[in-house]
A and B are shown apart, each in its own frame.
Chain A
Amino acid sequence: MTLSPGLHAFLGQLINGLTVGSFYALIALGYTMVYGVLSMVNFAHGDIFMVGAYCGLFTIGRLQSIGYLETNPVLAIVVTFMVGMLGASLTGVLVERLAYRPVRRAGRLAALISAIGASIILQESVRLVPTIFKAILDIKIGSHNLFPDAFISGLLNLAKDFGGSAAKTYPAILGTGGFTLAGVFISYGRVLIVVLSLIIMLALYLLVQYTRIGRAMRAVSEDKDTASLMGVNVNRTISTTFFIGSALAGIAGVMVGLFYLQIRVDMGFVPGIKAFTSAVLGGIGNIPGAMLGGYILGLVEVLSVQVLPAVYKDVVAFVILILTLIFMPNGLLGNRKFLKKL
């Protein structure tokens, strides 16, 4: 089958846009869920995504060094995703407990400032992991090290793998293989990302709509006090929301590592803002809206490169944010009162 060059290019960009959109959608879900239950923008969410990427890197690095990645790559990747998810989830829950719960009744501004603080703390903590480890291990009693030498060098190596200010790379295991569909080459890596994202989003939707915990989340988002009177444990529900939203960010973090290879401590900033844009575009507080917004933003951004110079990609994304806020502040699927529906 032969396609006209224009259509061919368009289809190719469509695939690119779906991949980028998957990342935005996964991260946007975390923003929107938290907004749903707390009516606040969790600006530390991009950094939770970063923590997920680093937890995944640490895991895959260990699995590679013991040779498990070569012998059993599929299981190794699954374990990497699990650890990335868990690391991000626990971080998210911790951030909520330490940075948001104490200021929950202190107004939106306090929560916003607290979120920015949490974001900085997360970034700098990951950056400083090797330094902190070294400082602790250098503690001496008299002229002797507190810890034995072999233990120190082992632990320092682990810490070096985890954080630090230099960029880190995932092993390139997804490869560049793929197949051609209607004249457009699609790599297996892209298929993995798009399919996995869609499955996860479907699972999330089902969880929120049809399970007990999902109903509790919807109840809390509608009215915390009433939900509490009806026997819903509000604090636990909020923690669960953070846990799930952060897990999605963690998955996105590991996917970025596996697909784009390089990760940095400041990697969460731009995707975080883009995902926030997606959430606003879809209607913040609305779960299907965040997914839709993510894919629309990804596609528009990528397709803009067909007509505009590539460096204006971010401009396009943020013009969308501004236009949405001016002309359609409720977003595509949001309703008048943001909190009505989660």
Chain B
Amino acid sequence: MKSRLIITLFVALTLLVSGCSPAATAAPATGALPTDTPGSTSASTSIPADPWGNIVIPPGQSVKVGLSSALAGGYAVYGTDMLNGVDLAIEKFGGSLHGWTLTSEGQDDGCEGAAGVTVAEQFSADPNILGVIGPMCSGSIVPAEDIYAANHVVMITPSGTAVAVTAQGYETVFRTVPNDDLQAQVTVDYLTKELGLTSIAIIDDQSIYGEGLATAVKQKFEAAGGTVTSFEGINRGESDYSAVVSTSMTGSPQGVYFGGMDAEGMKLVVQFRAANFSGVFFGPDGIKSQPSFADAAGAAAEGAYMTFGAVGGAAGYDDFLAAFKAKFGGDPVAYGPGSYDATLILLQAADRVATVDANGNLVIGRKALADSIRATPFTGVTGHLEFDQSGDLKVVSISVFQVKGGIITPLKEYNFGQ
């Protein structure tokens, strides 16, 4: 009797908890935002009506830059680096927008779709969010961008490389990195022309990002006359990949391509080397991390190659690097500089379109903000960033890197769209 009561209570409590939270977060995603009421600000005649509504921030409140990235779990090295980039950009911008204090709000999306959607709903419901940097992973962006678009929240991803990211035609979506079609092209070009490989094994992490890349590399490698000896998927977050390592090695490939992230890339390179594989290990931007790939795998990572939307060489990068080191005590990992640029793009556009209404509120038109981002070229620490109609960059470059003496070192740069 007593135990039955406990079960009933437990079930009731579970229902209560699980029933509450989605309702609270899902509601704003579908309906209009409470602050999106252009009519209520009609007291001022100077504020132009924005077709998407305005962001209205009362005096004394802060303007928030949202960041959706992996701040916990296996990919936190990347996500934390992005948060650092956002914070440094806010500091560089002076910490305020027309007198309103700027703050960053980092939310953990774990590099996953479901969590990315939850974060998107949270940010969309927050009237103080100016725009969002991220989401970090393509797998979060693709489902989350529907919500950002429906609520007219601008999102600039400094890292989402999948082709699908800008394929849905949303006017609120921007990215400051080349897409994976180009990344795969560079990879295959380097594998076949520079390294002269004719056979590779391919492994991906089954994410929108990893699987898309792996598939593109497979097609392009085969089109270039090469042989793909095996094409395997792995689950993210596991420890032991030795079974896949063994099956990938049975075809005696000259190299291995991994489409995925640092945590699994690090374990794979270690387990490939521990299985006495001496061929090329090649990966995408997801493994270009000094701490969580090169340092973590130690000697096993030596000689591994990866591609990355080029960073550095741009004017002002050295100053950025010095400021970054001084503030966070280490080098940026991967997308810190990109997040810094993306934040500055957002803040500068907001600065251009923001006005103060008769009640002393800061008013930013949502469509005006997106249009201003698209219309205005920006030169940042990652280079010249100019968006086309789809939100992709007009001009991009991708570099091939290699771990040399334990350090990720650039080898060759490819330019597109000149």
Contact = CB atoms under 8 A, between A and B. Distances in A.
Interface of A: 5, 8-9, 12-13, 16-17, 19-20, 23, 107, 109-110, 113, 127, 165-167, 169, 171-173, 175-176, 178, 180, 185, 187, 189-190, 256, 260-262, 264, 266-267, 270-271, 301-303, 305-306, 309-311, 313-314
Interface of B: 3, 6-7, 10, 71-77, 80, 108, 206, 232-235, 237-240, 242-247, 249-250, 263, 266-267, 270, 273-276, 292, 295-300
Contacts of B296: 169, 172, 261-262
Contacts of B250: 5, 8-9
21 contacts: A8-B250, A9-B250, A12-B246, A13-B243, A17-B243, A19-B240, A109-B3, A110-B6, A165-B108, A166-B77, A167-B75, A169-B292, A169-B296, A176-B274, A176-B300, A178-B276, A187-B275, A260-B240, A261-B267, A267-B239, A310-B232
Contacts of B76: 165-167
A130 to B, nearest CB: 12
A197 B267 CA distance: 22
A189 B276 CA distance: 13
Contacts of B237: 264, 270
A261 B266 contact: yes
B242 A166 contact: no
A256 B242 contact: no
Contacts of B298: 171-173
Given A165-B73, A167-B263, A178-B274, A109 B243 contact: no
A176 B244 CA distance: 17
Nearest to B206: A311
B206 A305 contact: no
Contacts of B242: 16, 19-20, 302
Contact of B74 (A12, A23, A189, A262): A262
Contacts of B243: 13, 16-17, 301-303, 305-306, 310, 313
A172 B239 contact: no
Contacts of B232: 309-310
Contact of A310 (B80, B234, B274): B234
Contacts of B240: 16, 19-20, 23, 260
A176 B239 contact: no
B3 A176 contact: no
B263 A262 contact: yes
Given A20-B242, A167-B73, A176 B273 contact: yes
Contact of A261 (B233, B247, B270, B276): B270
A302 B246 CA distance: 10
Contacts of A169: 266, 292, 295-296
B295 to A, nearest CB: 8
Nearest to A14: B246
Contacts of A180: 276
Contacts of A271: 239
B245 to A, nearest CB: 8
Contacts of B263: 167, 262
Contacts of B270: 172, 176, 260-261
Contact of A13 (B233, B234, B246, B267): B246
A172 B246 contact: no
Contacts of A17: 243
Given A261-B267, A264-B74, A314-B235, A187 B297 contact: no
A185 to B, nearest CB: 4
The 7 A-B residue pairs with the shortest CB-CB distance in the complex, in nearest-first order: A172-B298, A165-B72, A166-B76, A185-B276, A305-B243, A16-B242, A260-B239
A262 B267 contact: yes
B336 to A, nearest CB: 15
A91 B75 CA distance: 28
B244 A261 contact: no
Contacts of A306: 243, 247
B260 to A, nearest CB: 13
Contacts of A175: 299
Contacts of A173: 298
A221 B7 CA distance: 28
A131 to B, nearest CB: 12
A79 to B, nearest CB: 20
Contact of A166 (B73, B235, B267, B300): B73
A264 B299 CA distance: 22
Contacts of B7: 109
A171 B243 CA distance: 23
A303 B300 CA distance: 25
Nearest to A170: B296
Nearest to A259: B239
Contacts of A110: 3, 6
A127 B73 CA distance: 10
A14 B122 CA distance: 48
B71 A165 contact: yes
A92 to B, nearest CB: 22
Nearest to A109: B3
A115 to B, nearest CB: 14
Given A165-B108, A169-B292, A310-B244, 11 more contacts: A113-B10, A165-B71, A165-B76, A166-B80, A172-B296, A173-B298, A176-B276, A180-B276, A187-B276, A311-B235, A314-B235
